[in-house]
A and B are shown apart, each in its own frame.
Chain A
Amino acid sequence: MSQGLEHSLTSWSGQALKHQASWIDDLDARVRVVCSGLFALVVVLSHHFIPALLGLLCAFILVKASKLNIKRTLRRVIAMDFFMLTLICILPFTTPGDAMFTVFGLQASWQGLLHALLITIKANAVLLVLFSLVATMSASTLGHALAHLKVPDKLVHLMLFMVRYLDVISQEYKKMRRAMQARAFVMRTNRHTWKSIGYLFGMLLIRSVERAERISDAMKCRGFCGRYYLNDEMKMGRSDLVFSVVFLCFLSLLIGLNINDLFK
């Protein structure tokens, strides 16, 4: 399990998740970022199953529409659901309420189980929407969208720099790991492993910092004055408007469902 995940992590260098072209790609990046943010806000703050389940349904529709690779997307979500599984096991016993069954004198309550399920649904819905709307753009597009949304300039620059170097540094890391493997180093639970990994990490830091100095010198040589320019102009088109209106209507429906239940 962790092996498969590690692979997808090491090879990521800021590109979008693998997917086929779809109409979601043509939407304005800002619309996608804002919509998924609002979606997270509404779904996480809702108290009832109906809005949360509707949110999850909407998330599935969006994943389908964005033509993400379903298998890989689910694998990412399932990694989180393993954590949720422990929560589902613990919460029924710690929440007071109507008894479902008893184990060793401990009472499991329905309320606890429902609470755990609600959390699971919410967390999955938010992640799936993020994958389909935001992760289908590259990290640098995301950075530009954030800059247009008035996120502090330095933060956006930091993100762009980081995404740029991720690939370079992971290459460096892989190179050193391969050198260790060539010398028959196998990770085990012992002090030798920890020491070697510590040395690897320290060396990675030193090499990266030296590299950062070289990069910044080279950039200054070419007239870099400390900032990128955002040349792309983002324009709201017709389809962006239609999508945002439909999405906002859906979100107000979810909010309405929450309020409706309050009045009962």
Chain B
Amino acid sequence: MHIVDGALSVPVLVSGAVLSVVGIAIGLKKMDYDNLPLVGVLASVFFIASYIHLPLGFSSVHLIMNGLLGILLGWVAFPALLVALLLQVIFFGFGGLLVLGVNTLNIALPAVIIYYLCYKGIRSENPKVAAIWGAIGGAGAIVITSLMVAFSLALSGESFVLAAKAVLPAHIPIMVLEGFVSYAAVYLIHRVKPEFINKESV
């Protein structure tokens, strides 16, 4: 999921960075100092989600959960994910510094798209219906993310096209898994604390 430094071409890096900056600016504008604690806590929950490794056959995958983050945070997902990715690069070496813009865009833009797609569905009275929308959001975000990763690879040069084609099938298991996990998470939140989802998001 994390693209490393040095792989992408300069135009892709620059356009990724510019688009991310726009997203972050919108996100920062929508975030007050008042809800900083909430956003900070949610960002760290998603940081922790990325080290929940689930077994999958002989290997294991980790959760990304950007769909659910998008549903909860909307545009604020951009700054939250930028900070999380920056810390992961510096202290754990996942990804790279110059590709940070592209990586942020690839994960945060799907989150925002899911926010607009599932905004109504997730607030349904019926917990089952809401949970199905949650599953659509969780799986959908992974689909969009892997498509964007594939595009940023394919646009960087002919030789990456094969790698780009491999990205989508590689993400299908993660997509199914995130769908189920998001379904359960939304269902639980609806049962335990419905006002958390129903209230206007940040």
Interface residues of A (CB under 8 A from B): 2, 6, 8-10, 12, 17, 36-37, 40-41, 43-45, 76-77, 79-80, 83-84, 87, 90-91, 93-96, 112, 115, 118-123, 126-127, 130-131, 134-135, 139, 142, 152, 154-155, 157-166, 169-170, 173, 187-189, 191, 193-199, 201-206, 208-209, 211-213, 215-216, 219, 226-227
- A and B contact pairs by CB, cutoff 8 A, 19 listed: A40-B98, A87-B7, A94-B163, A119-B4, A122-B6, A126-B98, A135-B91, A158-B39, A158-B79, A158-B80, A161-B39, A169-B41, A199-B185, A201-B63, A201-B181, A202-B184, A202-B185, A212-B37, A215-B37
Bound-complex Cα distance A30 to B94 (A):
23
CB neighbours (8 Å) of B82 from chain A are 155
B45 at the interface (CB under 8 A from A): yes
Interface residues of B (CB under 8 A from A): 4-7, 10, 24, 28, 31-34, 36-45, 47-49, 51-57, 60, 63, 65, 68, 72, 79-80, 82-84, 86-87, 89-94, 96-98, 158-163, 166, 177, 180-189, 192-193, 196
Bound-complex Cα distance A162 to B48 (A):
11
The answer to whether B193 and A206 have CB atoms under 8 Å apart is: yes
The answer to whether B185 and A209 have CB atoms under 8 Å apart is: no
The answer to whether B31 and A208 have CB atoms under 8 Å apart is: no
Known: A83-B4, A122-B6. A130 touches B83 (CB 8 A): no
The answer to whether B185 and A205 have CB atoms under 8 Å apart is: yes
Q: How far is the CB of B57 from chain A (nearest CB, A)?
A: 6
The answer to whether B96 and A12 have CB atoms under 8 Å apart is: no
Known: A17-B91, A126-B97, A159-B87. A198 touches B28 (CB 8 A): no
Chain A interface, >50% SS class? helix
Known: A170-B48, A206-B193. A37 touches B97 (CB 8 A): yes
Known: A94-B158, A194-B54. A206 touches B189 (CB 8 A): yes
Known: A76-B93, A203-B188. A209 touches B38 (CB 8 A): yes
CB neighbours (8 Å) of B47 from chain A are 162, 166
Known: A189-B57, A197-B184. A212 touches B38 (CB 8 A): yes
Known: A165-B44, A169-B44, A206-B196. A154 touches B28 (CB 8 A): yes
The answer to whether B55 and A189 have CB atoms under 8 Å apart is: yes
Chain B interface, >50% SS class? helix
CB neighbours (8 Å) of A204 from chain B are 45, 48
Known: A154-B31, A161-B36. A166 touches B44 (CB 8 A): yes
The answer to whether A159 and B83 have CB atoms under 8 Å apart is: yes
5 A-B pairs closest in CB distance: A198-B184, A161-B40, A226-B33, A122-B6, A202-B188
Bound-complex Cα distance A173 to B47 (A):
12
Bound-complex Cα distance A94 to B160 (A):
7
CB neighbours (8 Å) of A112 from chain B are 159
Known: A123-B4, A211-B41. A94 touches B159 (CB 8 A): yes
Known: A83-B4, A161-B37. A135 touches B90 (CB 8 A): yes
Q: How far is the CB of B154 from chain A (nearest CB, A)?
A: 11
Say which residue of B34, B79, B186 sits within 8 Å of A202 (CB atoms): B186
Known: A155-B24, A158-B43, A205-B45. A226 touches B6 (CB 8 A): no
The answer to whether B189 and A194 have CB atoms under 8 Å apart is: no
Q: What residue in chain B is nearest A111 (Cβ atoms)?
A: B159
CB neighbours (8 Å) of B183 from chain A are 198
Q: What residue in chain A is nearest B193 (Cβ atoms)?
A: A206
Report which residue of A152, A163, A205 has the largest number of chain B beta carbons within 10 angstroms of its beta carbon.
A205
Say which residue of A76, A91, A199, A216 sits within 8 Å of B184 (CB atoms): A199
Known: A119-B7, A130-B97. A198 touches B180 (CB 8 A): yes
CB neighbours (8 Å) of B60 from chain A are 2
The answer to whether A90 and B96 have CB atoms under 8 Å apart is: no
> Beyond the given A155-B79, A162-B43, A208-B41, could you list 12 further A-B residue pairs with CB under 8 A, ordered by the A residue number?
A45-B10, A123-B6, A126-B98, A135-B90, A155-B24, A157-B33, A161-B36, A194-B54, A201-B181, A205-B185, A212-B41, A226-B33
